[in-house]
Amino acid sequence: MSFELTILGSNSAAPAHSRHQSSQFLRLENHTFLIDCGEGTQMQITRYRLKLGRLKHIFISHLHGDHYLGLVGLLSTLNLRNRQDALHIFGPPGLDDIISLHLKYTETVLGYKVHFRALDPNQSEVILDNQQLTVTTIPMDHRIPCTGFLFKEKPKKFRLKKSSDLTQMSFDEINTLKNGQNVMANNHIKYALKEYTDPPYKPRSYAYCSDTRYNETIIPYIKSVDLLYHESTFLSDREQRAYETYHSSARQAATIALKAGVEKLILGHFSIRYKDLSPLLAEARQVFPNSQLAIEGQKVSIQLDSHEQEA
Amino acid sequence: MSFELTILGSNSAAPAHSRHQSSQFLRLENHTFLIDCGEGTQMQITRYRLKLGRLKHIFISHLHGDHYLGLVGLLSTLNLRNRQDALHIFGPPGLDDIISLHLKYTETVLGYKVHFRALDPNQSEVILDNQQLTVTTIPMDHRIPCTGFLFKEKPKKFRLKKSSDLTQMSFDEINTLKNGQNVMANNHIKYALKEYTDPPYKPRSYAYCSDTRYNETIIPYIKSVDLLYHESTFLSDREQRAYETYHSSARQAATIALKAGVEKLILGHFSIRYKDLSPLLAEARQVFPNSQLAIEGQKVSIQLDSHEQEA
């Protein structure tokens, strides 16, 4: 029942101060996802002993090199490992051209299918919908087409308490309880929901917002998420520079987190100019105390919480 | 007067066992050259504290990802560092298309000029010729168009011994000695070459041969070089596999070194299957004792040697 994010890269623009470029590895139960894929991502995956066997979906936010230049190498390595399962890549229009051109010149025919879906940077779309979660794009405010991604678990079922009565229930009766209803018989309650179940776990959610200017239009998409990654390239004394380069300050990232009422904020996409990142963290915590830095190799988990499901 | 090679990557196909993909950094006096540029090369350059300021020439042997996927990231990082000097890139036809497509989608206009020269993989050409050295391509026998590179110092001048007579010589007389001739006056030797000079240093040379099948047609190009890098992807028990994949064994690399009469051999481009490389080294040394492994971060220097210049 894990919902675990591993930071693979936290730097913007170019690798520096032993920090790599943007990439994150998200594990949600038996699904694994890769979000952005800067140069060296495949080495980082190896360094942190992450497994690629279950990776079926890669999400690329935009076509700045620090977010995608590790992709072709990763595809090639998966091919060398005799991958056979299809891989789904979501990214901006043009990413497919780039992949195709590399494969053409390397004279490579991948042994697995790549399904590419071009994302529309101007509107939010549900791009993945399975039994466990949905993935929805979030339009970012960046210099070139760019989308964030919201990973949200599906509403969960009520949890059956231990009871000897369960053995007497039919499959339909158990499903009725799991779906949050009393089991009725002749207009009477046969098995009461409260007696036989605990409330469902709250569906967990993670929003990845990089790269973007400070822009409050993203707030409705990320409202109340458990975990928000928001780029914070600069300190607030460079907000003019952030605006000009379509980036955000740590203070701005924290302001978005506060206004969206999220549970926890992770700061990342740090400018090369900052070797010591503690001033960025301090600045964010002044606005939003539950902030932390994206540290490579660090895992951030969202625990199951049995609060009542939101309406 | 340094002639120093730094190994940045030594693995074939994919990074593994903490080894990166092909790249080498060559320093010859005040020139620096980059040979191949696998993914992560820019991080390796940083790790080993190499300077990019004097880098003006990049040589890419062929368009397999393990030899060039770090190039676009490196170009981008040079741009972020406000590089202004033109950069010369030599590589197979198509590399320019790849670079252009990346720049198009990232909407990047580099602040420095890139001069691209497409190499002909079917014939040897002098592609660089300046006061200090020539760089000549060597046709490789690989699955896709591929060239090796021979870096060879220009013939050097005779070295003036310390002598109080020097102050009495004219500029022309000194040059006559440096060019290896006695200074004559009225049909007599005025200043004897042997008295006033030591023989010139032998021009140093380095040949980079990756990737290639065992093919003796390269021998004339690499005859008697001081340093030969020859790929040795496999051990000799896999020479059939090497043949099929257009690669060489360590034994074959050593055989080429022996037949070409080179001074020293460096083995590299190791298959992922070998974590321990000592068997490859042992195999090569049975044929050619002065062999060594390409170890990342290791520097291999060619010392000046005052043997008589070759004819």
Per-domain boundaries in chain B: 3-156+201-301, 159-198
How far does A18 lie from chain B, in Å, by closest CA?
8
Residues from chain B that touch A76, judged by Cβ atoms under 8 A, are: 13-14, 65-66
User: 């901006």: which residue's tokens?
Assistant: A92
Using DSSP's 3-state secondary structure scheme, residue B280 falls into helix
Interface test with B, best of A104, A105, A247 (most B CBs within 10 A): A105
Both tokens assigned to A201? 């776990």
pLDDT at B170 (0 to 100): 95
Q: Which residue of A has its CA nearest to B64?
A: A106
Give the residue among A218, A220, A236 at the shortest CA–CA distance from A287. Answer: A236
The band of A308, judged by pLDDT with boundaries at 50, 70 and 90, is: very low
**CA distance to A173, A177, A181, A195, A302, per residue, from A189 (Å):** 12, 12, 10, 11, 36
Rounded CA separation A266/A258 (Å): 13
- In the predicted model, residues of chain B with pLDDT beneath 50 are 308-311
What confidence tens digit (pLDDT) does each residue in B246-302 have?
999 999 999 999 999 999 999 999 999 999 999 999 999 999 999 999 999 999 999
Instruction: Give how far A66 is from chain B: nearest CA, Å.
Output: 8
Q: Chain B closest CA to A127's CA: distance in Å?
A: 22
Token pair 């009393």 is found at A182
Q: 3-class DSSP state for residue B127? A: strand
Q: Using the beta-carbon criterion (under 8 Å), do B15 and A65 form an inter-chain contact?
A: no
Pairing of strands B227-231, B205-209: parallel
Choosing from A66, A141, A211, A226, the catalytic residue is A66
Task: Check whether the bond before B237 is cis (ω within 30° of 0).
Answer: no
Q: What is the pLDDT of residues A96-149, one digit of tens each?
A: 999 999 999 999 999 999 999 999 999 999 999 999 999 999 999 999 999 999
Is residue B153 less than 8 Å (CB to CB) from chain A? no
Q: Inter-chain contact B98–A101, Cβ cutoff 8 Å? A: yes
Q: How far is A39 from chain B (nearest CA, A)?
A: 6
Please give the average per-residue pLDDT across A200-206, as a whole number: 95
The interface pTM score, or ipTM, of the predicted complex is: 0.91
Q: Which two tokens stand for residue A258?
A: 């506060």
The contacts of residue A284 (CB under 8 Å, 6+ apart) are A232, A250, A251, A253, A254, A257, A265, A267, A291
Are B69 and A65 an interchain contact pair (Cβ–Cβ within 8 Å)? no
The band of A306, judged by pLDDT with boundaries at 50, 70 and 90, is low
- CA dist A151 and A147 (Å) reads 13
How far off is chain B from A151, nearest CA to CA, in Å? 26
CA dihedral B188→B189→B190→B191, nearest 10 degrees, is 180
Dist CA A161 CA A214 (whole Å)? 46
Closest residue of chain B to A143, computed from CA coordinates: B107
Structure tokens at A48: 């942190």
Reply yes or no on whether the pLDDT at A309 is more than 50: no
Q: Which positions ≥6 away from A126 have C-beta within 8 Å?
A: A134, A135, A136
Peptide bond into A211 cis (omega under 30): yes
CB contact under 8 A, B14 and A42: yes
Establish whether A66 is a catalytic residue.
yes
* Cβ of residue B52 closer than 8 Å to a chain A Cβ: no
Q: How confident is the model at residue A212 (pLDDT cuts 50, 70, 90)?
A: very high
What residues in B contact A20, CB-CB < 8 Å?
43
A13 touches B: beta carbon within 8 Å: yes
What ranges make up the beta strands (E) of A67-202?
87-91, 114-118, 126-129, 133-139, 147-153, 159-160, 183-185, 188-191, 197-198
Q: Is there a contact between A39 and B107 if contact means CB atoms under 8 Å apart? A: no
Instruction: Tell me how far apart the alpha carbons of residues B287 and B240 are, in angstroms, rounded to a whole number.
Output: 19
Nearest CA of chain B to the CA of A36: how many Å?
15
Whether the Cβ atoms of residue B266 and residue B228 lie closer than 8 Å to each other: yes
CB contact under 8 A, A16 and B143: no
Angle at A253 between CA A249 and CA A259, to 5 degrees: 140
Pairing of strands A299-301, A3-9: antiparallel
Is some CB atom of chain A closer than 8 A to the CB atom of B64? yes
DSSP A121: T
What is the pLDDT at residue A30?
86
- A307 has pLDDT over 60: no
- Amino acid letter, residue A140: M
**Segment A257-268 mean pLDDT:** 98
Which class is A3-156+201-301 in CATH? alpha beta
CA distance B195 to A68: 64
Residues of A in contact with B104 (CB under 8 A): 94
Distances, alpha carbon B102 to alpha carbons A101, B110, B193, in Å: 10, 12, 58
What is the chain A residue with the closest CA to B272?
A80
Q: Does A40 touch chain B (CB under 8 A)?
A: yes
Interface of A with B in 80-139 (CB under 8 A): 80, 92, 94-95, 97-98, 101-102, 104-107
Is-contact A248 A213, C-beta < 8 A? Answer: yes
pLDDT in tens, A29-50: 889 999 999 999 999 999 999 9
CB A125 within 8 A of CB A138: no
Predicted confidence at residue B309, as pLDDT, reads 41
| β partners of residue B31 | B28
Q: Cα(B79)–Cα(B110) distance, rounded to whole angstroms? A: 6
Torsion of CA B238, B240, B245, B251, to 10 degrees: 50
pLDDT beyond 90 at A266: yes
User: Would you call B14 an interface residue with chain A, using a CB distance cutoff of 8 Å?
Assistant: yes
Q: Which of B66, B141, B211, B226 is catalytic?
A: B66
Q: Which chain A residues touch B70 with a CB distance below 8 Å? A: 39
Q: Compute the residue count for chain B.
A: 311
- Residue A36 tokens read as 């952005």
Report chain A's mean pLDDT, rounded to a whole number.
95
Q: Order across the sheet with B55-59: list the strands.
A: B114-118, B87-91, B55-59, B31-37, B23-28, B3-9, B299-301
SS3 state at A105 = helix
